[in-house]
Structure 1
Amino acid sequence: MSQVGNAIKMYILLQANGKMKISEIASLLEVDERSVRRYRDDLEVASILIDGERGKYGGYQLYNDNLMLGLNISTQEQNSLQLVEKYLKDSRNIASKDISNIVTKINAMNSAREKEQVDFCNHMAKETISNIDLSVERKKFLDIHAAVLSRKKIRIDYNSLNSGKLTRIIRPYTTLQYKQDLYLIGFCELKEEIRDFKISRIENYEIMDETFPKDESFDPEKSMENCLGIYKGKEYNIKLKIMHPMSQIIKEKVWVKNQVITETDGGAIIFKAKMRGLTEIKTWILGMGSSVIVLEPDEIVYEIKNEIEKMRNFYLR
């Protein structure tokens, strides 16, 4: 092997094993100890510094490990990455396999610090997982996101809950992940407006050669402003009275950035916010059951009363 190749191999050995005797390195590289010292000099020219200790328990060890990869990952950062890996794996995210491969490589490069790492085998993430073929959805998502970046139109066969299966041509603006599901936001030429498309409901797709100009008026953050979820539409000034213990649960999260919470009697709260997305607003309020009273606006009061009446009629039959 060439001198450069042996120097790189020596670096990898020190990354994997920590401190090593010069004689050990020489034996593994099948060279003499003088060559090992020369490899050390070559690596230091490349700013990969190696500590050398004399004596019975001496040897070489990297002073600035990971510099070759420009990583310098701390133990805390490595533990955080492992935590993310566990979350993605438990929630069956399409990126989980790739992240696991990255974590494995980083762990191998940082094996000298292995004892400092936290074991997350007793940690779990509880999520409602998507009933999808991960490999199919991953390819579909990556193809669609590539079209977003290159501003290429997409022809899709989309199975809408309201309209049924239709072929549409979409100008893809951005991709979005919500509650473990992937979405495409884009301009639908059939409906002549910006729509959200759940990627798992796209049955067939074709990335077209035709491109489209960037829509300077579209801002993904702005498009989701004051939305409780992905549903958009009319904005409401919501005012709720929420009783304990549900009030404590509501206080523990930021539902929309503009929310204002005021403490009141008996552990109850008054919750005020501007919100969009009638479907998800109704679902959210109904999910609190008898722990919430809608104070404003009258339109939402009517919607909740009407939904409760429909539910009640199911059980009177």
Structure 2
Amino acid sequence: MSRLSNALTMYMLLQGRSLIKIEELAEILEVSPRTIKGYKKDLEDAGIYIGAKSGRYGGYYLENRIDLKSLGIRKEELEALKMANEIIKSGNHVFSLDFETLANKILNIKRDFDHIDYFNKDNLKPIYMKERESEMWNIISKGIINKKKIRMLYSSIGKGIKKSEKRVRIVHPYGTFDHDGATYFFGYCEMRKEVRHFKLSRIIEVEVLEQKFAINIEYDIKNIMRKSFGIIDDDIFYLKLKISYPMSQLVKEKQYSLDQKITEVDEENIIFEANLKGYQEVKMWVLGMGSKAEVLEPERLRKDVIEEMRKLQKIYELDTNICTNE
């Protein structure tokens, strides 16, 4: 980055924290401590004054922080922050309490939150899991910011794995995202030789290594998520379903794909068409609709659903025979 970009980044880092060591700033910006002192002078020449605290626990701090009142926050923006606060704190996010504290500090509007009654129906995580995910997130975020590899012991589940499989992975962490109430990070996995997603709740232990990495793979997480039904990045396939009421009404209320097409057959039935990624997740979605969804295309998915139905039939036939014998 340019000298100006680095100076602005340093300013934003100081804005977000009360005190940062010069050595830590130098490591994040990948420059020398002497250069950091040069950025300090550049910022002070622009009227941004930076204080310095000496000693073991010393570092740089901002003497004049942003006055948020001068930013001209609109009423609509204030309402958006209130609702975002209510959504986050009522859901599963590991930093829900921290976000609420931040909102209160920024706008000092604790009294204005009281009239909003909102609750997220997602299954709530146990407290111990939230605390553990918060710990994992903090460690992984250091690897992302400093572009350092991480070593972790990870418990995998998926196709072809009969039980939880624990393996050591070396990963180049690129970023984080949330999906379906869970927090993930993504990065290049040295074992799989490709970019993979990892669920924070399945990480058993993790550490940041000293070895740095360079991002040499183009990976647009937002674009991939827009095309995927879930988070699995596999081949795109064409899906065509006939869906009956009440599932037809629920499907009409959601956006599963940017190119999805819904044709109303009559008051109760629709034809759903889309190009999607995430075959296994789509299969589970279709099975979850039971008799209210019929797969028209692809033929592979139709056969897989029939196979799953046969397995269920065997299970329940066995239960029926047991009850009859009793």
Displacement of 1:260: 0.9
- The correspondence for 2:143, drawn from 129, 147, 151, is 147
The aligned counterpart of 1:219 is 220
1:20-58 Cα distance to aligned partner (Å, 9 max, x none): xxxxxxxxxxxxxxxxxxxxxxxxxxxxxxxxxxxxxxx
Displacement of 1:311: 1.1
Letter in 2 for 1:291: K
Alignment RMSD: 2.2
- The correspondence for 1:124, drawn from 119, 123, 132, is 119
1:102-126 Cα distance to aligned partner (Å, 9 max, x none): 2323453x68xx6xx4644533221
Letter in 1 for 2:316: Y
State how far apart, in whole Å, the 1-side matches of 2:279 and 2:68 are: 53
Letter in 1 for 2:285: W
Query: Percent of aligned pairs with the same residue?
Result: 32
Where do 1:1-317 residues align within 5 Å? 69-108=69-108, 117=112, 119-131=114-126, 132-161=128-157, 162=161, 164-317=165-318
State how far apart, in whole Å, the 1-side matches of 2:317 and 2:156 are: 32
Return the TM-score normalized by structure 2.
Answer: 0.70
- Matched residue of 2:219: which SS? coil
Displacement of 1:139: 2.7
Give the total of aligned pairs.
247
Q: 1:249 to 1:68 in 2, by over 3 A?
A: closer
Structure with max Cα Rg: 1
State how far apart, in whole Å, the 2-side matches of 1:266 and 1:122 are: 34
1:77-100 Cα distance to aligned partner (Å, 9 max, x none): 323222222221211312211221
1:264-299 Cα distance to aligned partner (Å, 9 max, x none): 124311111111112210111111111111101100
Q: 1:68 to 1:218 in 2, by over 3 A?
A: closer
- Matched residue of 1:175: which SS? strand
Displacement of 1:144: 0.9
State how far apart, in whole Å, the 1-side matches of 2:300 and 2:79 are: 49
1:172-207 Cα distance to aligned partner (Å, 9 max, x none): 122121112111211211222222111111111110
State how far apart, in whole Å, the 2-side matches of 1:148 and 1:178 are: 19
Kept in 2, the 8 Å contact 1:156–1:203? The answer is yes
State how far apart, in whole Å, the 2-side matches of 1:301 and 1:274 are: 16
State how far apart, in whole Å, the 1-side matches of 2:306 and 2:68 are: 64
- Runs of at least 4 residues off by over 6 Å: none
**Structure 1 range deviating more: 164-173 or 264-273:** 264-273
Displacement of 1:226: 2.1
State how far apart, in whole Å, the 2-side matches of 1:259 and 1:172 are: 32
Displacement of 1:221: 2.5
- Matched residue of 2:94: which SS? coil
State how far apart, in whole Å, the 2-side matches of 1:71 and 1:261 are: 44
Letter in 1 for 2:196: R
Kept in 2, the 8 Å contact 1:154–1:205? The answer is yes
State how far apart, in whole Å, the 1-side matches of 2:144 and 2:219 are: 13
Return the TM-score normalized by structure 1.
Answer: 0.71
Is there any run of 5+ residues in structure 1 with no aligned partner, and where? 1-65
- Matched residue of 1:217: which SS? coil
Is there any run of 5+ residues in structure 2 with no aligned partner, and where? 1-65, 319-326
Letter in 2 for 1:87: I
**Structure 1 range deviating more: 290-299 or 84-93:** 84-93
State how far apart, in whole Å, the 1-side matches of 2:153 and 2:72 are: 46
Kept in 1, the 8 Å contact 2:152–2:206? The answer is yes
State how far apart, in whole Å, the 1-side matches of 2:205 and 2:302 are: 41
State how far apart, in whole Å, the 1-side matches of 2:106 and 2:213 are: 40
Displacement of 1:208: 0.8
